[in-house]
Chain A
Amino acid sequence: MVAGIPILWLLVLFLIPFIIVFRISFSEVRLAIPPYTPLFTWHHGSPSLQLHWSSYAFLFTDPLYVSSYLYSLKVAAVSTLCCLLIGYPMAYAIAHAAPASRSMLLMLIVLPFWTSFLLRVYAWIGLLKNNGVINNVLLWLGVIHHPLALLQTDFAVYIGIVYSYLPFMILPLYANLEKHDGALLEAAADLGARPMRAFVRITLPQSLAGILAGSLLVFIPAVGEYVIPTLLGRTDQLMIGRVLSDEFFENRDWPVASAVAILVLLLLVVPIMWFQRLERQELTAK
């Protein structure tokens, strides 16, 4: 009973929906409600499946879709790397802070997460636009003489993703770094290893699980990110999440939108399984 209720709920509202998406990706669009050919057709009293490959053929032949796939992967990879480069030293500093101030610092990291995600992304419009705060400050300082085009660039999307997902990188890294045994580093120092060498040979390899968990937590949702590229990003190059949403809402082509979703899932299934394995290890290790 205890396990049955959540399993039943998730079967109906999480697993079955994916099967339906999968099925509809093999339908054809038609002018009706709902706007796709039926899931089953009846032939002489028995249901028969009709699979149409047209949506997939369309996605693979139209360069627009291929390029938004590759672009989404690039944006997610670069943002994950930036998150790691910024988040690692921050997590390290918190793990090495005095125990009394650690919880305070962690709270400061998590606090923005409790305010609206949408509004925090929106705040960057005000900072990045042509007559925005950053340009005004740089003009006033005399660093630049004409406003820089910051909004609607790749740079703005990186900033938006790093800004929104940074806590997701820092928390698993902190959880990992905090458990490290200082004695190993002391032993390395006693044996004459320089701090940098000790870090590369001891701390870094030990924190690999944290790096992986944090990176997956940033990378997977970033691939399908919709709000950040829509508010801050380029208009000539869309990310795949936006393409899916446009196919659905603007073109009302549900089969193509479903096919996009299935292809994104295929792409993410390996990192998602990887993340689940890490998560299971983490939860059973305690």
Chain B
Amino acid sequence: MRSRGLFSRCALVLGLVFLYVPILSMVIFSFNNSRLVTVWDAAHSPTLKWYVALAANEQILRAAWLSIRIALVASTGAVILGTLAGVALARFGAFRGRLLLAGMTTAPIVMPEVITGLSLLLLFVAMEQLIGWPKGVGAVTITLAHITFCMAYVTVVVQSRLAGMDESLEEAAMDLGARPGRVFFRITLPLILPAIASGWLLAFTLSWDDLVITQFVAGPGSSTLPMVIFSKVRFGVTPDVNALATILVLIVATGIGVSTVWMRYQQRRRERDVLLAAAANL
């Protein structure tokens, strides 16, 4: 027993090293002076010159701004559609179209992205021929595509949260005469809010990061940040991309750190409230 525990613990540590070394190397080399990126120029490093270059790069800034706007709209749309689908799948029992909906929400998660991208573009082209909308491809078609593949993830997150949740509160509300809409907004929605929030974050990240599907449904003048990065790194390593990666890692780490501290704080407050309530009863 002990020896196997040791083996799996070693595997865990090595696995984590494997997951983090590449990220760490990007961070380190973003402060390197040399254009060769992976050869450390000890005489002139660390330097912030790639960050300065990044801040002056109009193309990257424009693409980042477009990506943020698309991700904001797409993740919000995906959360609305995904929550509806998740609630329907988890609470409506066997309704007509259940199997269809269940199938269509899990398939996009594993579907190879080139296929999704190609099929969406062909749809948009066929639609334009047929009804004259959308006029060409661009930010609108990218957003529609992102909503579609992101909502699958939101559905799974919301559905599994609801599946693990007791229905008795909702039933009690209904027994007391609350209408279904009221039950949803007063009981169900507050209870699944954490799942919706993490679904939104997940959708935002996926949309912000997507390259393959976006490439198919993007047009001239609608290059997102991953598209710009891909065209830069396709033919080798460029140091300003390291600087960009470092900034992203910093944002994510800060976000996770803040949310962890926030959750700890909430938990401690709850515990204190329980203690106070117990003391008041003495």
What is A's interface to B at a CB cutoff of 8 Å? 2-3, 5-7, 9-18, 20-21, 24, 34, 39, 86-87, 89-90, 92-94, 96, 105, 107-109, 111-112, 114-120, 122-127, 129, 131-133, 136, 163, 166, 189, 195-196, 199, 216-217, 220-221, 223-227, 230-231, 241, 244-245, 248-249, 254, 257-258, 261, 264-265, 268, 271-272, 275-276, 279-280, 282-284, 286
Within B149-170, which residues are at the interface with A (CB < 8 Å)?
151, 155-156, 159-160, 163-164
A96, A123, A125, A276: the one contacting B107 at CB < 8 Å is A276
Q: Does B52 contact A (CB under 8 A)?
A: no
A116 touches B248 (CB 8 A): yes
Within B94-122, which residues are at the interface with A (CB < 8 Å)?
95, 97-98, 100-115, 118-120, 122
Residues of chain A contacted by B145 (CB below 8 angstroms): 13
Within B228-266, which residues are at the interface with A (CB < 8 Å)?
229-230, 233-234, 236-237, 241-242, 244-245, 248-249, 252-253, 255-256, 260
A227 touches B212 (CB 8 A): yes
B233 touches A90 (CB 8 A): no
A2 touches B226 (CB 8 A): no
Residues of chain B contacted by A231 (CB below 8 angstroms): 233-234
B118 touches A257 (CB 8 A): yes
CA–CA, A26 to B209, complex, Å?
Answer: 33
Q: How many residues of B contact A (CB 8 A)?
A: 96
B9, B123, B208: the one contacting A17 at CB < 8 Å is B123
Residues of chain B contacted by A220 (CB below 8 angstroms): 110-112
Q: Does B8 contact A (CB under 8 A)?
A: yes
Apart from A3-B84, A14-B104, what are 11 other A-B pairs with CB-CB below 8 Å? Answer: A16-B123, A18-B119, A86-B11, A86-B15, A133-B25, A166-B19, A221-B112, A227-B212, A241-B114, A272-B107, A283-B159
Q: Which stretch, B36-44, B53-61, B274-282, touches the partner chain A?
A: B36-44
Q: Please, could you name 14 A-B residue pairs with CB atoms under 8 Å apart, sorted by A?
A: A2-B87, A2-B88, A17-B120, A20-B122, A89-B11, A107-B256, A114-B252, A115-B249, A120-B23, A123-B245, A223-B112, A261-B118, A268-B110, A284-B163
Residues of chain A contacted by B81 (CB below 8 angstroms): 5-6, 9
Residues of chain A contacted by B236 (CB below 8 angstroms): 125
Residues of chain B contacted by A279 (CB below 8 angstroms): 106, 156
CA–CA, A265 to B159, complex, Å?
Answer: 26
CA–CA, A220 to B109, complex, Å?
Answer: 10
B5 touches A96 (CB 8 A): yes
A21, A112, A226, A280: the one contacting B102 at CB < 8 Å is A280
Mask of B212-236 contacts with A, CB within 8 angstroms, 1/0: 1001100000000010011001101
Closest to A14 in B: B104
B37, B97, B115: the one contacting A7 at CB < 8 Å is B97
Mask of B1-23 contacts with A, CB within 8 angstroms, 1/0: 10111011101100110111111
